[in-house]
Structure 1
Amino acid sequence: MAGKIRIYRQRIRAVTTIKKSTRAMELVAASRIRKAQERSQAATPYARELTRAVSALATFSHVDHPLTTERPEASRAAVLIIASDRGLAGAYSSNVIREGERLTELLRSEGKEVRPYLCGRKAASYYRFRRRDVAEEWTGFSDKPAYSDAKAVGETLIEAFLAGSEGGGVDEIHIVYTRFVSMMAQRPEVIRLMPLEVVEGEAPPASEEVLPLYEFEPSAADVLDALLPRYVENRIYHCMLQAAASELAARQRAMKSATDNAEELIQTLTRQANQARQAEITQEISEIVGGASALAEATAGSE
């Protein structure tokens, strides 16, 4: 019985140590979520104005640019998957990887070859474990991406797209990332990055969304050459910021669940240890009473 109590106490100490670690990770993730949200909100005005400028330029300039031209016979597509570098974030990475697998199956059903581009060690480990070929991978910045990281990814993807399938590149580029909806909800999403899709079309915009007028100097084509790569990089950066906030939110929720489970387990183990201790005390009392009764009977018999 004493050995059983000792085992319970050892398990309580071990679970208490784990609880301290998960609680610390929960607090760290909570503090970083706010910073990630602030970074995303700070980048939103620039992204919005850049999107308006690109939309106006691509809509009203009537210039056929390689980044906006649909390939008639697209045979190869790139899929950029933005996952995490670290675990302990629940199903965050597995959800976005699963969404990437669904997109891959869809593209293959259309007769397109898929070339994966990966951000995050979890996605890289997933493909490496299954011995799948990867075009390029980037790691080390999933929870705090910088614009330079998005620029490096964007330059690689633009270079592959401009080369085309005939030149060893790709004809389409898709991004799979996790959009931050709220602290309790993060949703994997897929967007087609290139060729760029212009949503405004030729119809006049609404009164509250009037596109600004621009003069293109030296020409609309030159402006597109300079502006479209920045737009691509900024959109990738926005996806990375959304994914970072989603990763931190998922990690905080996972660590909170782990902390709560540790508290419940400690209460259960404490209750079991108390029951074992109570049983031990009852047994000791029974042994004492039994010994005293036996001694009393032996004394009475000798008299």
Structure 2
Amino acid sequence: MSASLQEVKRRISSTKKTGQITAAMQMVSTAKLNQIQKHTTSYQVYASKIRNVITHLAASHLLENVEPAEAVKKDQFNTLSMLKQRPVKKTGLVVITSDRGLVGSYNSNVIKQTLQLISDNHHSQDDIEIVAIGGIGADFFKKRGYDIVYEFRELSDVPTFREVRPIVRTILRMYQSERFDELFVCYNHFVNSLTSTFRGEQMLPISAENIGSEGLEETSSSGYQLQYDTEPSEEAILEVILPQYAESLLYGAMLDAKTSEHASSSTAMRSASDNANDIIASLQLQYNRARQSAITTEITEITGAQAALE
């Protein structure tokens, strides 16, 4: 067998092994996607209820009637500071990416759109504080000189609520200490197994404007004003509800981002496997043609030798 045929055969063998690896990785990513989708479906019921409560409180103007400075005792964390609007000197961005590659355009899309968000809002690099969830985003912004105020790596494939709470507490204390004056969550939203879209949602401060008007259509059409009687007080109610809302918003974003990551990984590995099969088919055709040419040459030489002997 000639050297060229041996080389083609080695390339076929190597590509087959690569295809087997990418096919296995696709199966793993698909399994993770199915698992997190089941978890997300059940969690969305809770998140929707929390959002509806906050939305209706905003519609009743309850969020506007509370003074954060009077909410808690000295040296305690001021939950109601989440409502405090102040002049924006620093903007915080929670950027959710993966810890590793092999996820197609997932990370590049989040980073590209986050940079576009910074540009569209006319922020300079000195005005931005990055909270990085995932190693790819943390490393990217570090190399470009952005201030990474907090980073969290190795987020679970199906994140738990327990993982999110320390992150939320850290972020809230940074906001209260005026490390930044507003906070956005930047991530890829899962649409379907082939499509995801970038989202940049404002998390802090909490206000009627950034909560939105979901769930209020019926109230608006009925023509009556929402009112609440609170017990023991408006402050006590919001002390419980606001942290749950912040946790649900960030946790929901992480679940959504991880779902998009697994879908992107599955798609990328399926594409890699398809490419490997195409390469194998092309190499096999090349091998067969070379082999056929070698056999034809051998037959011609044998026939020529036999004719010379005669």
TM-score higher than 0.5 here? yes
Task: Quote the Cα distance in structure 2 between the aligned partners of 1:129 and 1:5.
Answer: 46
* Partner deviation per Cα, 1:83-105 (whole Å, 9 max, x = no partner): 11221110001101111111222
Range moving further from structure 2, 4-13 or 55-64 = 55-64
Q: Is the Cα–Cα contact under 8 Å of residues 129 and 146 in structure 2 kept in the other structure?
A: no
The answer for the alignment partner of 2:289 in structure 1 is: 275
State the match for 1:31 in structure 2: 31
SS at match of 1:85: coil
Residue in structure 1 matched with residue 105 of structure 2 by the alignment: 91
Secondary structure at the counterpart of residue 70 of structure 1: coil
| Residue of structure 2 aligned with 1:175, choices 185, 191, 214 | 185
Find 2:66's aligned residue among 63, 68, 71: 63
The yes-or-no answer on 1:185 pairing with 2:195 is yes
Alignment root-mean-square deviation, CA: 2.5
CA 1:120–1:111: 2 relative to 1, 3 Å? closer
Change (3 A) 1:82 1:142: farther
Q: Find the aligned partners of 2:188 and 2:249 in 1 and give their Cα distance.
A: 14
Q: Distance in 1 between matches of 2:292 and 2:226?
A: 80
TM-score by length of 2: 0.87
The code of the aligned residue for 2:82 comes to L
Give the gaps of 5 or more residues in structure 2: 69-80
Q: Note closer, same or farther for the CA distance 1:211–1:186 as it changes in structure 2 (3 Å cut).
A: farther
Which position in structure 2 is the counterpart of 1:11?
A: 11
Q: Read off the aligned partner of 1:156 and give its amino acid letter.
A: T
Aligned AA (1:24): A
User: Which residue identity lines up with residue 126 of structure 1 in the other structure?
Assistant: F
Relative to the length of structure 1, the TM-score reads 0.88
Are 1:285 and 2:299 counterparts? yes
Asked if structure 2 preserves the Cα contact closer than 8 Å seen for 1:142 and 1:240, the reply is no
1:105 partnered with 2:128: no
Residues in 2 aligned to 1:237 and 1:175: alpha-carbon distance in whole angstroms: 11
CA contact (8 A) 2:59 2:226 kept: no
Matches within 5 A, 1:82-161: 82-109=96-123, 113-141=127-155, 143-161=157-175
Cα pair 2:8 2:287 within 8 Å, conserved? yes
For the residues of structure 1 that align with 2:194 and 2:139, how far apart are their CA atoms? 27
Which of 270, 273, 285 aligns to 1:259? It is: 273
Q: What 5-or-longer segments of structure 1 have no aligned partner?
A: 297-303
Which one has a bigger Cα radius of gyration? Answer: 1
What is the count of residue pairs matched by the alignment? 291
Asked if the contact 1:75/1:112 (under 8 Å) is kept, the reply is no
SS in 2 for 1:173: strand
Please tell me whether the aligned partners of residues 26 and 270 of structure 2 are also in contact (alpha carbons under 8 angstroms): yes
- Counterpart CA distance in 2 for 1:156 and 1:246 is 25
1:224 to 230, 238, 247: 238
Correspondence 1:238 to 2:241: no
Paired position in structure 2 for 1:301: none
| Aligned partners of 1:56 and 1:211 also within 8 Å | no
Shift of 1:200: 4.4
Q: Bigger CA drift: 138-147 or 9-18?
A: 138-147
CA contact (8 A) 1:80 1:119 kept: yes
Give the whole-Å Cα distance in 2 for the aligned partners of 1:161 and 1:239. 19
Question: Identity of aligned pairs, percent?
Answer: 28
For residues 262 and 229 of structure 1, the distance between their equivalents in structure 2, rounded to whole angstroms, comes to 49
